Amino acid sequence: MTETNSQTTAMKGTVAVVGSLNMDLVVRVPRLPVAGETLAGHTFDQVPGGKGGNQAVAAARLGARVAMIGRVGADGNGASLRAGLQAEGIDCAALDTSEAAPTGVALISVDEEGRNSIVIVAGSNGELTPADIARHEAVLASANVIVCQLETPPDTVLAALKTGRRLGKTVILNPAPVIGPLPSDWLPLVDYLIPNEVEAAALTGLPIGSPAQAADAAQVLRRQGVRNVLITLGASGVLAALESGPTHFEAPRVTAVDTTAAGDTFIGAFAAQRAGGVAVDSAIRFAQRAAALSVTRPGAQPSIPTLSELT
Ligand code: ADP
């Protein structure tokens, strides 16, 4: 891949996202309900979400051609999610429809202090199989960068990682959500592992309260075979442990309004930049600018910026 240090001269690369699509059903409540309680909520919104969908939208708005490999149900939510991706210019030829399972949903309650409780029902996301990955191998073959998360079945993620490695693609894994270490045979398949600090702590069992501690955790993951580790640290930026060594990238200072989808924006932006041949450090800085802008605005997908807002 030809590299350039200038974001503005990035070529249009292709990103394939293998992952989840959910309809987020968001209620605003005076406080989170306790067991057995019925509460009157303030508002109800239906918003397209899922880590896969959010990252695909971010990559598309930030300059990449994007193809989505995933599953929705044969229902209204599925049709609406598909239409939303298509409106972003995302290729949905490999977005299959499950007949039996409903489209994935996330039931999200947000209280007046901004705290949330979330229940996710995987639905059709749970029906994405290794056979689907094999059937859509041409989509992976035509991408420069492949992005996976952990909201689809582990066997399917592993199949996507293996296919990406075999095809010589740049493979990004956002290990989210994660509750413990990844299987040891996964890590050598990954070019860029991008956890947030909670996920990095779960992967390594190490505390992550500072960039120095993040560097220690990242080194542990690199020794397990991942080529590069980018730990996102919210307002404290990104700790990048690259093949060339560890570097702490400070985040731009902004007034955060809603940090939902900050990580998804960072990952989609980084993938788009790498697919376009941009050097790693420039891609990280660009992705941080995109994520910082997203936290100044409310919502998940609505907060993700476009390329024209960043140039
Ligand atoms: P996640 O959304 O997965 O929890 P983070 O909160 O670590 O991910 O955010 C991802 C990236 O978004 C950070 O590395 C940073 O670049 C940017 N970001 C997040 N919160 C802020 C903030 N308050 N100010 C500036 N940038 C932020």
- At 236-248, the pLDDT tens digits run 999 999 988 899 9
**pLDDT for residue 305:** 97
In order of their start, the domains of the chain are 6-21+50-102+125-301 (3.40.1190.20)
**pLDDT for residue 257:** 86
Report the separation in Å between the CA atom of 257 and the middle of ligand 1, taken as the mean of its atom positions: 12
Report the separation in Å between the CA atom of 263 and the middle of ligand 1, taken as the mean of its atom positions: 6
User: pLDDT of 71-96, one tens digit each?
Assistant: 999 999 999 999 999 999 999 999 99
Q: Residue 112 pLDDT > 60, yes or no?
A: yes
Share of the chain above pLDDT 90, in %: 89
Nearest-CA residue for atom 19 of ligand 1:
234
Nearest-CA residue for atom 18 of ligand 1:
234
Residue 311 pLDDT grade (very low, low, confident, very high; cuts 50, 70, 90): confident
Task: Answer yes or no: is the C-beta of 158 below 6 A from any ligand 1 atom.
Answer: no
Task: Name the active-site residue from 155, 191, 264, 281.
Answer: 264
Report the separation in Å between the CA atom of 224 and the middle of ligand 1, taken as the mean of its atom positions: 25
Report the separation in Å between the CA atom of 293 and the middle of ligand 1, taken as the mean of its atom positions: 10
Taking the CA of residue 259 as reference, the ligand 1 atom at the shortest distance is 20
**pLDDT for residue 10:** 65
Q: Look up residue 233 and give its two tokens.
A: 């640290």
Nearest-CA residue for atom 8 of ligand 1:
263
264 is catalytic: yes
Q: Residue 180 pLDDT > 50, yes or no?
A: yes
Report the separation in Å between the CA atom of 97 and the middle of ligand 1, taken as the mean of its atom positions: 33
Task: Answer yes or no: is the C-beta of 240 below 6 A from any ligand 1 atom.
Answer: no
Q: What is the DSSP string of the chain?
A: ---BS-GGG----EEEEE---EEEEEEE-SSPPPTT-----SEEEEEEE-HHHHHHHHHHHTT-EEEEEEEEESSHHHHHHHHHHHHTT-B-TTEEEESSSPPEEEEEEE-TTS-EEEEEE-GGGGG--HHHHHHTHHHHHT-SEEEE-SSS-HHHHHHHHHHHHHTT-EEEE---S-SSPPPTTTGGG-SEE--BHHHHHHHHS---SSHHHHHHHHHHHHHTT-SEEEEE-GGG-EEEEETTEEEEEPPPP---S--TTHHHHHHHHHHHHHHTTB-HHHHHHHHHHHHHHHHTSSSSGGGPPPGGGT-
Once rounded to an integer, what is the mean pLDDT over residues 277-295? 97
**pLDDT for residue 300:** 87
Of 9-18, 238-247, 274-283, where does mean pLDDT reach its minimum?
9-18
**pLDDT for residue 47:** 93
Of 8-17, 265-274, 281-290, where does mean pLDDT reach its minimum?
8-17
Question: Considering Cα of 177, then 182, then 185, then 187, what sign does the dihedral take?
Answer: positive
Nearest-CA residue for atom 21 of ligand 1:
235
**pLDDT for residue 107:** 95
**pLDDT for residue 37:** 92
Nearest-CA residue for atom 24 of ligand 1:
235
User: pLDDT of 152-172, one tens digit each?
Assistant: 999 999 999 999 999 999 999
